[in-house]
Structure 1
Amino acid sequence: MSIYDRIGGTESVRAAVDGFYARVLADPELAPFFVGVELDRLKAHQRAFIAAALGGPQIYAGRDMTAAHAGLNVTDGAFDAVVAHLASTLAELGVSGEDIAEIAATLAPLRPQIVSVRELAG
C-alpha cells in the first residue's frame, strides 16, 4: 500500500495542503515568498505533486522544482521551515510518525533543486 493510500488519499492530501498553506502563510519568514502568488493554482499544483510523490494516481505536470523555485532565493532555513510545517500539518491530521518520516525522506532529495541561497554557518 502506498503512503498516499495509508494517509487517506485525495481528501487527506487536500486537507494537508490547505492546512500546510495556512501555516506557511502565517509564518512571517515564509509568507513573503507567496506575495502575488495565485494560491488556488499553487494549491492545485501542490496537491498533484504531493499525490504523485506519495504514490497516488495523479500525474504531476507542473514545472520541475528548479524552474519553479528559480529566483526565489530560498534558503536552507526556509526549506527546513516548510518541511517542519508540513510535518506538523500531517501530525495534526493523524498521520503516523513513521509515514511522516517517510514523506520527509521523499522530500529531502529536492533540497538542492529548491534551495538557491546557501547560508553561512554561524
Structure 2
Amino acid sequence: HILSMNPATTGVHKPPHAQETPTGIFAVQEKKEKMFYVKDGTSEIAGFAPYASRFTNGAYVHGVPVQYPNKNIIEFSPSLGTTPRSHMCVRNASSHSKFVYDWAKVKESVVIVID
C-alpha cells in the first residue's frame, strides 16, 4: 500500500550536470542524513540536502537544499512540484524527506516516482 505522497521538484534536463528524474519503482539503496553536493563543474562543496534516500544512480529523495548556491530561488512547500529544478533528485519538503528517511529500510523499502 502507499504510505505517503508529496509534491516534489524533479530533475531538469541540462547536460552535463543536470538530468531528468527517472520514473519507476526503485529500492532504497542507501541513506545519508546530509548529502553534500558540489558546485557544477567543480569539486567544491556548495551545500547539502537533508535526509537523503538514494533510489538510483545519483538520484535521491531529499529535503530542500541548505546553502543552495542560487540565492534567488527559495523553495517552500507551495512551490515544490511547480517546475523541474533539481539535478535528478526528488526534492521534497524537508519534513517529508525526514519521514521517508526515518521510515525506509535500505534494500527493503521501495520508492515510486511518477510523473
TM-score (norm. length: structure 2): 0.28
Structure that is richer in strand per residue: 2
Larger relative helix fraction? 1
TM-score by length of 1: 0.27
Higher relative contact order (CA 8 A, sep 6+): 2
